[in-house]
Amino acid sequence: MNQTAGPLPRRITLLRALALLAVIAVTVFIYSIRDQAERLEGYGYPGIFLLSLLSNATIVLPAPGIAITFAAGGVFDPFWVGVAAGTGAALGELTGYLAGFSGRGVLEGTAVYQRLLELTRRFGNWTILVLAVIPNPFFDVAGAAAGALRMPLTTFLLWATIGKLIKMWIVAYAGAFSVDWVVRLLG
């Protein structure tokens, strides 16, 4: 009989519980400092990166990431705003992935989770890419589905980064073009 069979599941359960607690703690912390987080925009591209990372690290709770990216696109070079915001957003989505990896628990019974789990199982990378591009509140759930399905972390990050870059470039350029439009309108 293998003597290591007993402790391993407990160790995995403990690690999953700790990952879930870390995700909850990060979400609560970021939500509690959301008003102060907007000051990071004043630090240029690194501030945009950090703000995007923080706003995407929250699970389900809204954060001002896209609005800041839109505004920053009108002030800074929209290409680099998109790069900073997109990479920060993709890294911030690791909390959703970890929530799913940690044991699925909270979202497992919801219809949205079940549908995203099915889509991720069926279409894999494409599900992550499409949901990362579309502004929606369900990407956290898609990240959880990817984690629950044990999608390799590098694969998840690659497709989430591509999708988030596309989305943030669109938002940053929209911010830049809107400023140009208002300036032309006002003469």
Residue-wise pLDDT tens digits, 1-10: 444 444 556 6
Residue with tokens 């208002």: 182
**pLDDT digit string, tens, across residues 112-143:** 777 877 888 888 789 889 989 988 777 877 88
Per cent of the chain over pLDDT 70 is: 66
pLDDT band at 178 (very low <50, low <70, confident <90, very high): confident
Per the CB < 8 A criterion, the answer to whether 82 and 169 are in contact is yes
pLDDT the model gives residue 160: 93
pLDDT band at 14 (very low <50, low <70, confident <90, very high): low
The sign of the CA dihedral 51, 156, 5, 13 is positive
Within 8 A by CB and 6+ apart from 149, the residues are 100, 117, 120, 121
If you average pLDDT over every residue of the chain, what do you get?
76
pLDDT band at 15 (very low <50, low <70, confident <90, very high): low
- The residue that leads in pLDDT, 108 or 98, is 98
Per the CB < 8 A criterion, the answer to whether 19 and 54 are in contact is no
Mean pLDDT of 148-166: 91
The structural domains of the chain, with segments of one domain joined by +, span: 7-186
Residue with tokens 């990216």: 69
Angle between helices 65-73 and 153-186 (to 10 degrees): 50
The sign of the CA dihedral 17, 116, 150, 136 is negative
pLDDT the model gives residue 4: 45
